[in-house]
Copies of this chain bind each other. A is one copy, B any other.
């Protein structure tokens, strides 16, 4: 027990959480194919992750399988959505270029995972062509229009030099989490979860691996 009286649980590593998300996406696909069970061996082959690793990751949160059989896809999917927090709706505000907003509004990834885009903040708000349930505002209106009680997370797709300022403002507003795409580090006060998805990093990894492969002949 720690000083708050809660049971002290071992910290789950970021690598594990990332893999749980990977398992979850595969379960989504298999469920749609009307598959009912899945073994760690099969999941291992699909995702290229060691099967002991998979069983270990899951065992950090409970026993979800049946010996001799494997995992029931629906109930494992349910368990993972509980663990990851995908068992509830998350309201999302988008902040950024209109093209990007359109991409995300049409994104299956958001729809399928209970992320609801409720507001869009733009620099050129007239260009957007979306449905009526999403309000479109100017970026100036951030403080006026975002309600941290209702708006849980923000997705930012702005040019890199504008991101830090928006992050400051969102943290002040009291939003819980942010995903941003700029190729740049940002600072926070630590009251907000921030994740960066940077295409530059993946391009660097891609080119490194291509060269590595060539070198190996």
Contacts and interface: CB of A to CB of B under 8 A. Distances in A.
A173 interface: no
A155 to B, nearest CB: 9
Interface in A173-211: 176-179, 183-185, 193, 195, 197-211
Interface string A143-163: 000000000110001011000
Nearest to A107: B199
A142 interface: no
A78 to B, nearest CB: 15
Tally of this chain's copies: 2
A169 B78 CA distance: 35
A22 B99 contact: no
B103 A99 contact: yes
Contact of A206 (B46, B179, B210): B179
B109 A207 contact: no
A24 B204 contact: yes
Interface stretch (A52-60, A66-74, A83-91, A131-139): A83-91
Contacts of A20: 204, 208
A183 B84 contact: no
Contact of A208 (B84, B157, B203, B208): B84
Interface centre among A4, A113, A179, A183 (most CB of B within 10 A): A183
Given A90-B207, A206-B153, A210-B193, A183 B109 contact: yes
